[in-house]
Amino acid sequence: MTTTPSPVTIRATDGPGQPERTPQLESLYRQFESELLVPLWAEIGELMPAEPRSKALPHLWRWRNLMPMAEQAGSLVPVGRGGERRAIALANPGLGGRPFATPTLWAAIQYLKPHEDAPVHRHTQNAFRFVVEGEGVWTVVNGDPVAMRRGDFLPQAGWHWHGHHNRSDRPMAWIDGLDIPFQHYTDATFFEFGTDDVGTRETPERSRSERLWAHPGLRPLTHLTPTPATPLLAYRWEYTDRALSDQLALEAEGCTATVEPGHAAVRYTNPTTGGDVLPTLRTEFHRLAPDTATAAVREVGSSVFQVFDGTGEVTVGEARWTVERGDLFVVPSWTTLSLATDTGLDLFRFSDTPVFERLHLDRTYQEGPHA
């Protein structure tokens, strides 16, 4: 029926509910294989576990190891059309060598040399940049140049044209987050080349999107229709920092403002809906005051964290690391996460949770005496 050789091999197993392995059964299995059929009873253990068992593993990448390699790539690898970006992706050790931080999430360090441009393209993948250090690059989204500086979060929704230009005399690196693995697996990816030139050399302090949108609770009358992704292209560090400080101060005054004692957190949101900034990606910033430990939590869906400042102890499933500025780690689905710090810890986080919430598959479990 098909010219593709059948790759099916039935894994006969023993155990409760499994059929007796007779010659007739083996014969039937050979028929299944030739007809491209697989019985549920031979696969149910793996396909329908009692709870998610991700192939992805907890893993930590050290910023102090990543940066020198990014610099080397700067001297060896061009950034023009074809390669598109000098981006180096985290490859989860459980995912067969693919450049996937988790089954759904892409995380990479991107590096741009002084006076270098990254050419314009667009793709259906939702993307963002987060800056752990440096400045001097403007990302140009649909013609709007957006400055990138330490602590800034810069979302960029699917199918928006975008390039970058570095107008400074110093290189700059940042992290990119995207839903590449999700869209790749589900076959939803479109990509289109734009101009090689980013089209503008402007270096404004504030982008046009910020001048339209970065006023708390105020919406321009020209833009009243809700959009699936945020129209605000930069969430500046000064606001994030202040929001977190305010939460900890409110907590000290006895108000409900923190997730748990000493743990402040904000979610980046789309001002046209109040919901997540991008349809497939959730992004948050967490601040732990000195001498804080979080509850242990498990969630459906996977996350990537980057340490923005401070130091702390991170426990993900069986893994335990001491982390510092720039370090990146992944939390696979339904794997327990807890954080602790003596000195204080600032963390950026992104996850695929909107996928599960929109499909009513989200679930959270908080461990502890009162859970």
Residues 77-116 that bind a second copy (CB under 8 A): 77-78, 80-94, 96-99, 103-104, 108
Residues 159-218 that bind a second copy (CB under 8 A): 180, 182-192, 208, 211-218
Phi, psi for residue 45 in degrees, rounded to 5: -60, -40
Task: State which residue, 221 or 371, has the beta carbon closest to a second copy.
Answer: 221
Measured distance CA(7)–CA(21) in Å, rounded:
21
**Window 126 to 155, contacts with a second copy (CB under 8 A):** none
Largest CA distance in the chain: 76
**Which helix (H) or strand (E) element contains residue 111?**
strand 106-112
Residue nearer to a second copy on the CB measure, 61 or 293: 61
Size of the site for a second copy (CB under 8 A): 151
Question: Is residue 123 close enough to count as binding a second copy by CB under 8 A?
Answer: yes
Q: Which of 128, 130, 174, 356 binds a second copy (CB under 8 A)?
A: 356
Give the tokens for residue 209: 């999107």
Comparison of 233 and 293: residue with beta carbon closer to a second copy = 233
Q: Which residue has the tokens 């996928």?
A: 355
- The count of C-alpha atoms lying within 13 angstroms of the C-alpha of 297, restricted to the half-sphere facing its C-beta, is 14
CA dist 340 and 210 (Å) reads 35
Of the residues 67, 266, 295, 296, which one makes contact with a second copy according to CB under 8 A = 266
Establish if 252 lies at the interface with a second copy (CB under 8 A): no
Which residue from 67, 250, 296, 340 is in contact with a second copy, where contact means CB under 8 A?
Answer: 250
Closest CA to 231 of 191, 280, 277: 277
Binding segment (CB under 8 A) for a second copy, from list 66-74, 133-141, 307-315, 337-345: 66-74
Burial class (CB in 10 A: 0-12, 13-18, 19+), 243: middle
What values do phi and psi take at 35, rounded to 5?
Answer: -100, 10
* Residue 42 three-state SS: helix
In the beta sheet, which residues pair with residue 338?
A: 315
Q: Binding residue for a second copy (CB under 8 A) from 63, 66, 163, 308? A: 66
Smallest distance, a second copy to C-beta of residue 135, A:
20
Between the alpha carbon of residue 141 and those of residues 118, 122, 195, 230, the distances in Å are: 12, 10, 13, 13
Q: Name which position in 200, 203, 270, 324 contacts a second copy (CB under 8 A).
A: 270
**Is the Cβ of residue 169 or residue 371 nearer to a second copy in the bound state?**
371
User: By C-beta, is 181 or 310 nearer to a second copy?
Assistant: 181
Scanning residues 272 to 301, which ones bind a second copy (CB under 8 A)?
Answer: 272-274, 277, 279-280, 284, 300-301
In the complex, minimum distance from the CB of residue 342 to a second copy, in angstroms, rounded to a whole number? 23
Q: Which is nearer to a second copy, 293 or 331 (CB)?
A: 331
From residue 335, alpha-carbon distances to 13, 297, 308, 344 in Å are: 28, 8, 22, 24
The yes or no reply on residue 332 touching a second copy (CB under 8 A) is: yes
Min separation Cβ 4 and a second copy, Å: 4
Closer CB to a second copy, 182 or 350, in the complex: 182
With H, G, I as helix, E, B as strand and everything else as coil, classify residue 213: helix
CB–CB of 314/266 below 8 Å?
Answer: no
Position 76 contacts a second copy (CB under 8 A): yes
In 3D, which of 257, 262, 94, 266 has the Cα closest to residue 181?
94
Min separation Cβ 166 and a second copy, Å: 18
Of the pair 44, 195, the CB lying nearest a second copy is at 44
Out of 137, 140, 154, 232, name the contact with a second copy by CB under 8 A: 232
* Shortest reach from residue 75's CB to a second copy, in Å: 8
Q: Using the rule CB under 8 A, is 229 a contact of a second copy?
A: yes
Residue bearing tokens 């986080």: 349
Is residue 304 within 8 A of residue 101, CB to CB? The reply is yes
H-helix or E-strand spanning residue 64: helix 63-76
